[in-house]
Structure 1
Amino acid sequence: MEQIPLYQHIVNNLKAKIDSGELKAGDQLPTEAEISKQFSVSRITSKRALTELENANLIFRVQGKGSFVNTKLTPAHALAKGSKEILLILPFSHNPGLGDYEKGINEFLAATDYTLNIQSNTLVGQRKLLEAALRSSNAGLIFYPVSSNSDLGILYQYHLQKYPLVTMDKTIDGIPFLSVVSDNSNGAYMACKHLIDNNHKKIAYVSSLNVENFSSIRERYFGYLKALHDYNLNDYSVNDLTERYLTHEDGQGRAYYLQFIQAVKEQGITGIVAENDLIAIEIIQIAKEIGLSIPEDFSIVGFDNIHLSSFVEPKLTTISQDFGRMGYLAAKHLIATIENPHQPPRENVIVPVQLIERQTVRKL
C-alpha cells in the first residue's frame, strides 16, 4: 500500500465526513489541539491538514472561533443524486481479446435511463482517474482494477463515502466492494483436470503476474493446485520453476518464455496451464520457432477464449469467460446499489466458465 502523509490522512478523514453529510454546512470542525490528540500528530500537522481543507474551499476559518464547513459547499454525493451517468474505468482502451464488457453493460442499461461513459487508464493513470471520478457527479462506477492491491488509499475513500462502486475481474484486498468475477478457481481446475484426464502427470502453471497481487490470477493458481491435490500429483510450478519461471514482471517476455520452455523440456513436464490465452499463444509461437511441436512436445491450456485462440495453429484449448455476462451483471448490481443505497452488501457474483476443447492437448 502506498505511503500517505500524516496530514493527508486527516484531510481524507474530514473530507469523507463532509462528503457523506456527517459534517454539514456550517458545522464546526475540531480544533488543531483536538485533531492533534485524536490522530496523535503534532500541532503543525493538524494545522497543515486544516490549511489543505481551506485551500480546497471545503472549510472556512474564523480567527478566534475555529474552522467551519463551507456553507456554499455542495457535497459530491448531493450532486450525483440526480445524475444518470455510469462511469466505466478500464486498464485498456480497446482490447477485443479481453472481451466485450461494454456490450453487456449497455445491454442492461438499455432498459434503464442510465447512460455509460468509458475511460481508460492507458494514458492517464488509474489513481488520477479514480481521484477525478470521486469528485465527479457520476451516479456510480464500474471499475476494472489493474491489481487487487493498488491505489488502496483512494479506493478506501470510496468506501468511506459509500460511493456506489462495483469491480469486475478482480476483488480489492481489504475493502468490501461488490465484485463480479469469473469462476477462476473452477476454470483452472477444469484446465488442469483436462490435462490429467489425458494422462498428463507432470503439469506446470505459468503466469506473467505475481499471484499474490491479483485475485483472479491467485484463484486460477489455487484451482490448478486443487486439481493436482485431488489427483495426488505434484506441483511442478513450485520447485525449480518457482522463483525463476512462475512469474515475471521485467518486460523480457520472449526471453522469459524461451527459458520456461527449455525448463519444461528438461524436467519432462508434458502439460501447462497458462494464466491466459495471450501467454499460451506466445509460448506456442516460440516453441515453433525453436523446432518444437504442440501438442506433440507438450500440451497447453489457456484461459479467456479470446478471438485469436481459435485462429492460431494449432487452435488453442482454453477456458471461456463470459465477458458480456460479467458486464451485464456488473451494471445490474451497480444500479441496484444506486437505487437502494441502504440495502446490506451482497455477496460477490461469480460467473461460470466453460472448457473449450480444441487442438493443443494430446492424450498420452
Structure 2
Amino acid sequence: MGVTIKDIAKETGFSVATVSRVLSNKVGFFSQDTAAVVNAAATKLGYKKNMAATELVTQKSSVIAVIVNSTKTNFSDPIIEGIQQKAAESDKRVIILYAGDHDATSQRRALSTALERPIAGVLLLSVDLFEENLQLLKTAQVPFRFISISFKDSALNYVASDDQQIGYLATKYLIKMGHRCIGLAGIDIESSAHTGKMRLAGYKRALAENNIPLQKNWIQTGNYSYEAGLLAMQNYSNQKCISAVITGSDLVGIGLLNQAAKLHLSIPDDLSLITIDGTYLCRIVQPQLTSVTQDFYHMGYLGAEYLISDQQQNAFTDVKISERESVKKLTL
C-alpha cells in the first residue's frame, strides 16, 4: 500500500490537517519551517500524491484527453508534440486514447473512457464523430475541440488547415509548372467533415480560373491511405492524358509512387506528384515528394491553447509549397 498523509503526520508529529495543507500548498496556514519538515518527510517516505482521488473530490482536473483516429496516417505525432508542449507550459497532463478507424463503437469506448473521470477537456485529432457520439460529447459539458479537421457547422470548434486553400495551391502550382491534365487522388468526399470537400472545391476553382475543363475520371476518391494511392495509380494508368496528380496525403502519394514503379512509370518524367501533408515521409522516398506542407505542430499547440483558455473561435494554420523532386516542369 502506498504512503499516505497519515504516515507523514506520524513521521513528523504534525496533524493530518497540517500535512494536508502543506502538500496542497495552501499558503498562509503553516510556517516555512513546517513546510520544510513535511516535504522532507514526504520525500523520505516516497509519498506520491493521488491525483485521480484529488480530482474526484474537487471535480477539477489538469488532464486533457486526446482522442486519435487510428487510420494509418503519419501526421498525429507532430500534433501530439504541440499539444504536449502547451500542456506542459500550462501545468496540464495528457492522456491519449484511440478511436478506431471511423468505427462508432471504438469512438464511443474512447469517449466513455475519457469522460468517466474529471478532465479539463477533449481534443479530437482528425476524428469525424458519428452523430450519436457527438451528442454524447456535447451532453458531457466538458470543453472539446477538433484538430486537423473542419466542419460546415462553425459551432464545432476546430484548429485545422484551410483545405480549400490547400486544394487551390496544389492545383495552381501544377498549372504554373505547365500541367493541364491534373488528377486528385485519395480524398474522402463523403464524410461529414469538410476536409475532402474543401480540397475538391479548391482544386475545381483553380482549374476553372485557368479554363481547364474537369474530367470526371481525374478524381479518384479514397480514405487518405497508402492503399488508396495504389488503387488510384492503377486507375490512372489507363488514362494516358494525366500528367500530374495531387494526392490527398503523403501516404497516398507513396502508394502512387510505388505502384507507378510496378507499372514501369517514372516519377516525375512520366507523371508528376504533389502530396498534401508534407511530413518526413516526403523526404525518405526517392524521388523526394513535393508537397503542400501543413504546420501540424502549431496546429496541436494552438488547439491545446484554445482549449485551455476556453477560446471559442476557429482557426486555420499556415500551409506552404515545399518543392522537392517529384514535379517536372513541362515546356509548352
- TM-score higher than 0.5: yes
Once the two structures are superposed, the pairs formed by residues 154-303 of structure 1 within 5 Å of their partners are 154-172=133-151, 174=153, 176-236=155-215, 239-241=216-218, 245-247=220-222, 253=228, 256-265=231-240, 268-303=241-276
Once the two structures are superposed, the pairs formed by residues 320-331 of structure 1 within 5 Å of their partners are 320-331=293-304
| CA distance in structure 1 between the aligned counterparts of 2:72 and 2:231, rounded to whole angstroms | 26
- Aligned identity (percent) is 26
Residue 313 (structure 2) aligns with = 347
Q: TM-score, normalised by structure 1?
A: 0.68
Deviations 1:253-282 (A, max 9, x none): 4762343221332xx011111111111111
| CA distance in structure 2 between the aligned counterparts of 1:99 and 1:235, rounded to whole angstroms | 36
| CA distance in structure 1 between the aligned counterparts of 2:131 and 2:58, rounded to whole angstroms | 23
- Contact 2:229–2:251 (Cα < 8 Å) also in 1: no
Task: State the aligned residue count.
Answer: 273
Q: How large is the RMSD of aligned CA atoms in angstroms?
A: 2.8
What 5-or-longer segments of structure 2 have no aligned partner? Answer: 1-54
Q: Output the amino acid matched with 1:187.
A: I
Larger displacement relative to structure 2 (93-102 or 152-161): 93-102
1:283 Cα deviation after fit: 0.6
Please give the secondary structure, in 2, of the residue aligned with 1:130.
helix
Q: 1:79 to 1:233 in 2, by over 3 A?
A: farther
1:358 Cα deviation after fit: 0.7
Residue 133 (structure 1) aligns with = 114
1:213 Cα deviation after fit: 3.7
1:309 Cα deviation after fit: 0.7
Q: Output the amino acid matched with 2:159.
A: V
| CA distance in structure 1 between the aligned counterparts of 2:227 and 2:255, rounded to whole angstroms | 13
- Contact 1:80–1:139 (Cα < 8 Å) also in 2: no
Q: TM-score, normalised by structure 2?
A: 0.74
Residue 130 (structure 2) aligns with = 151
Please give the secondary structure, in 1, of the residue aligned with 2:277.
coil
| CA distance in structure 1 between the aligned counterparts of 2:69 and 2:92, rounded to whole angstroms | 23
Residue 78 (structure 2) aligns with = 100
- Contact 1:102–1:324 (Cα < 8 Å) also in 2: yes
| CA distance in structure 2 between the aligned counterparts of 1:283 and 1:197, rounded to whole angstroms | 22
Please give the secondary structure, in 2, of the residue aligned with 1:223.
helix
Q: 1:154 to 1:121 in 2, by over 3 A?
A: closer
Please give the secondary structure, in 2, of the residue aligned with 1:300.
strand
Q: 1:305 to 1:80 in 2, by over 3 A?
A: farther
Larger displacement relative to structure 2 (206-215 or 291-300): 206-215
1:251 Cα deviation after fit: 10
- Contact 1:192–1:273 (Cα < 8 Å) also in 2: yes
Q: Output the amino acid matched with 1:332.
A: E
